[in-house]
Amino acid sequence: MPDIAEEYRIISSGAGWSDRRRGRLRFEGPDALTFLQALLTNDVASLVRGEGRYSAYLTPNGRMIADVELLHRGDWVLGCVPDGLAPSLAQRFDQLIFSEDLRVTDASASLYEMTALGEGVMDALARAFELDAGALASLPESAQIDWAEGFVSRSGGASCPVFKVFGEAEGRESAIRRLEARGIVHVSDELIEALRVAAGRPAWGAELTEQTIPLEAGQLDRAISTTKGCYVGQEIIIRMLHRGGGRVAKRLVTLTIGAGLALRLRSAQEPRSLGKGPEALPVPGAVLTDDAGASIGALTSVVPSLTEDGFVALGYLRDDQATIGARVTVAGSGAMAVVTGFGG
């Protein structure tokens, strides 16, 4: 198991890199944005080269098919989608093309994507790719800046600055050499996951699934335009916002799980084994209960805290129970969890 505490210490002043496991779609043709505007939840029609926007693709019933980050590259648009979904999404989008001048292809194998992050990442990336550190610092999320062999996009989902590095697949090793020559070290998936959960950022396969309505996951401000024209699933979203006052059946929250459990686990012989007693580590899917023992939600992601003893987690709670400061019990673990905020 990688020592993520040491990795966190490194990026607290320096920088790290990791491969990014996502699918990548390439939309080419003059009608790309018009086509996507009619399908996705966010307003993407006005994007120009170097801009980007996060969005969701929904069923007519308002549930998620995928989340999609669009990056405008000038004569084409890159769509970053959940890992493993690119082939089916490319086929699905292709079947929706009628008279539009547009071609959709799965570019997951032809383009690489890496994450670079840390308090020192901007200066390190600037030196690695001959960029201006100030320009990197001023990029809004999903905006991009070009370098000789690809481009760098601003990202989020962590307490420290996060960027993504893209390029043609054959240039990946060269890019890694550039990064590591400037002191950007390889970090583990476990660190990336710990930072994501601590930041409250939902991920596909955990907080976001085909049963998720994006409003439940706190995606209104990030992924949904309330002023654009029609898109698939809009009727459900608008009905919930205007007739329902934005109420949802469940809401994504951030939680802390007590240090006492962490200390017991640390002294156990197999601290990450799953048991049935009060010292079992809470795992995704664990039921959350109220004082009376009634089920009111479930955990979706659990990671060690990077800053103190204990764990941090994401989970869904029934809307009337999702209040900051609320204390809930993780069934089967003997652990008490405290709601610290909302995901999104």
Determine phi and psi for 176, rounding to 5 degrees.
-60, -40
Q: What is the pLDDT of residues 16-70, one digit of tens each?
A: 999 999 999 999 999 999 999 999 999 999 999 999 999 999 999 999 999 999 9
Q: Which pTM was predicted?
A: 0.92
Read off the DSSP letter of residue 2. -
How much is the pLDDT for 334?
A: 76
Q: What is the pLDDT of residue 82?
A: 98
Sort strands 52-58 and 185-186 into parallel, antiparallel or unpaired: unpaired
| Residues 170, 153: Cα–Cα separation, whole Å | 19
Which positions ≥6 away from 314 have C-beta within 8 Å?
197, 200, 202, 206, 207, 252, 253, 254, 255, 299, 300, 301, 343
Q: Are 72 and 151 in contact (CB under 8 A)?
A: no
H-run or E-run covering 151: strand 150-154
pLDDT value, residue 28: 98
Give the architecture (CATH level 2) of 4-195.
Answer: 2-Layer Sandwich (3.30)
- CATH topology (fold) of 249-342: Elongation Factor Tu (Ef-tu); domain 3 (2.40.30)
The DSSP-derived string for 193-260 is HHHHHHHT---BTTTB-TT--TTTTT-HHHH--SSS---TTHHHHHIIIIISTT--SEEEEEEEE-HH
Low-confidence stretches of the chain (pLDDT < 70) are 1-2, 259-281
- The per-residue pLDDT for 29 is 98
All CATH 3.30.1360.120 domain ranges of the chain, comma separated, are: 4-195
In angstroms, the CA 279 to CA 203 distance is 27
Where does CATH 2.40.30.110 sit in the chain?
A: 249-342
- Give pLDDT, residue 332: 82
pLDDT given at position 259? 56
- Rounded-to-integer distance, Cα 196 and Cα 207, Å: 12
Quote the pLDDT of residue 261. 45
